[in-house]
Amino acid sequence: QTELIHTFNGIPFSTRVSKELLQSLDTFEAREDDVLLVSYPKSGTHWLTEIMRNLYHSHNEDNGVSKVTLTSPLEFGDLSKFDELRNLPNKRLIPTHLNYEMIPVQFKTKKCKMIYVIRNPKDTAVSLYHYYKQNPNLPKIEKWSTFLEMFLKGEVVCGSWIDHVLSWEKSKTDENVLVLYYESLKEDLPKYVKEISTFLGINVTEEQVKDISKKSSFSEMKEKAEKEKVNPNHTVCVLTSNKKLIFRKGTVGDWKNHFTSKQNARFDELFNEKINSSELARRVEYES
């Protein structure tokens, strides 16, 4: 088996993310109108890209929004990626799983808009477990209990969930950063489609909000993914271009079908103190 994971700055990354790219992140030239979509894996990245893509497509010619390209993740591939993005004439919507420290400095100094989406860590762990089981780009995992231990120790791709959220804590008062929760979107999607449109400065009608909410529902996205041919150049998640691996259940609370009460107690024991110390993590909900 070829190497699937390498470690950089103590964090496990897919080998689809090159070390030289990670070393050069701070040389990345951001543009003021770039939009970053940031997440820990399995937090709803594809969902958000669908909402944002539809929002940009729904605009009228006269509201001044330029053409937008959803690029592959910032950290995906090797250094040639930076040239590729430099040569892109359109406004760039860039997904990434990087923690706040690793985000190229120019995105911060130029105050680019960034959306950070958070999902409750128990459902995130379950979703990532199934991803490990099905995704050939991730190491083989046999048992849930083994995986949960890896997750708790931060020995999974992108490292510890709580460290990722804690790193973004620093940005929580920045006006250019919008923090969203997977569970809130599940509860009232139209409300957040509107909030995202306001944040991005896109005018949409009530009708368009309704239409976008429908198009980005789990069932419609899953159905579309099943019909779509896999295109290796269309990558939202570093770990796969195969969207069929993404739409599993799309619910809140699936963790209850996986965690034993002992595992739940261990999770709370290891995570709760840090979660309570973080304003962003504290707001996480476990069921709708």
Q: Which of 6, 46, 57, 97 is catalytic?
A: 97
Of 65 and 284, nearer to ligand A3P (C-beta) is 284
Which residues sit at the interface with ligand A3P, rule CB under 6 A? 39, 41-47, 123, 127, 130, 216-218, 221, 237, 246-250, 254
What's the closest the beta carbon of residue 163 comes to ligand A3P, in angstroms? Answer: 17
Burial of 108 (0-12, 13-18, 19+ CB in 10 A): middle
Q: Give CB contacts under 8 A, 24+ apart, made by 276-283.
A: 278/162, 278/165, 278/166, 278/169, 279/169, 279/172, 280/118, 280/165, 280/168, 280/169, 280/172, 280/179, 281/118, 281/121, 281/162, 281/165, 281/166, 283/181
Angle at the Cα of 134 from the Cα atoms of 103 and 250, rounded to 5 degrees: 70
Measured CA to CA in angstroms, residue 108 lies from 34, 35, 37, 112, 165 at distances of 11, 12, 14, 7, 17
The end-to-end CA distance of the chain, in Å, is 41
Between 34 and 50, CB nearer to ligand A3P: 50
Residue with Cβ nearer ligand A3P (28 or 47): 47
Residue 75 beta carbon to ligand A3P: minimum distance, rounded to whole angstroms: 14
Whether 59 is catalytic is no
Instruction: Rank residues 182 and 199 by Cβ distance to ligand A3P and give the closer one.
Output: 182
Q: How far is the CB of 95 from ligand A3P (least distance, A)?
A: 9
How long, in residues, is the chain?
288
Minimum gap (Å) between residue 69 Cβ and ligand A3P: 19
Active site (catalytic) residues: 97
